[in-house]
Structure 1
Amino acid sequence: MNPQSTKSMLRALPSLTGSAPPLGLTGLPEDPVELFLEWLAAAQHREVAEPHAMTLSTVDASGMPDARVLVLKDVDASGWAFASTRTSAKGGQLSACPSAALTFWWQPLVRSVRVRGAVIEASREASLADLRARSASAQNGVDPDDWTLWRVLPSRVEFWQGSPDRQHTRVVYVRDHDGWRIEN
């Protein structure tokens, strides 16, 4: 395929083809976790495949971004949890630079959620409990001392509702000394 035909093919692909009710800007919850859980429930209701799948973005020692898809393990006031081995590339990157971004994309709803902030390790007990909650085959070959549950402590959470007319709606929660502030 030549570059011109690739460009034409990509331009011809439909985008923003899903649908969801418009995002109202009044009556928003004070905490982004509450809105995230509402959106996650809507994604489950619409039978979005793997609505807990997210892209985890970190940076390596030279500052080069790195991204991969993982599943969200939990979300609450203590953070947005994910797990892997400490000796993985992501584990090394988080050790060197304990910050990350998470991105959720629910195409049928034309919705995205972006989370970014500092990353902390959960307790050893929480990490082992997460490992034990995996299927036997998923535990096979995993060193329990290496398995780590991390939590993103968000400083910013953005909710994006796409629109075919490109009049997208964004709601951004920013953490400040008093809790959360909402920006549009």
Structure 2
Amino acid sequence: MGHCTQSQFLPLNIAVLTLSDTRSIENDTSGQFLETALLEAGHHLAERQIITDDKYQIRSVISQWVASGNVQVIITTGGTGFTERDNTPEAVKPLFDRDIEGFGELFRHITYTELGTSTVQSRALGGIANKTAIFCLPGSTGACKTGWNKLLKEQLDASHRPCNFVMHIKKVTD
């Protein structure tokens, strides 16, 4: 892990995707939290969308962002549970070049202290596709706060030691 970091923070272009059949820009508290948090941390909002939790729509939007030279990180919220409508892992996992197993494991470990054994039903996941980091969080605003504050804020900071994800993601080309 040794030389994983730069000495200073680098702003990243982060896209936020909310997956929901019911949310609109007015009541998307999870997506709004992520947008506000990433901007407060010094990053740029590359794009923000809300789409229904449809496997092919999800793959379409994420594939476009992954292929773009402008989006370096994608954070999704929603669709990671166990209901019939929760399709995020099935939609996103086939796009990964590499899984980030530790993201889902650590997210569940952290939320276990808050939710107990119910956290076993969380299918939060992360991976890298075309040097774009993708992190899929549950749809609740609380889960987004946990994911951002306890994991992503540090791991998307180039100055975080001993290691972070910034060295593994593409440089902006657009």
TM-score, length-normalised on structure 2? 0.30
| Higher Cα radius of gyration | 1
Tell me: higher relative CO, structure 1 or 2? Use CA pairs within 8 A at least 6 residues apart: 2
| Higher share in strand | 1
| Higher share in helix | 2
TM-score, length-normalised on structure 1? 0.29
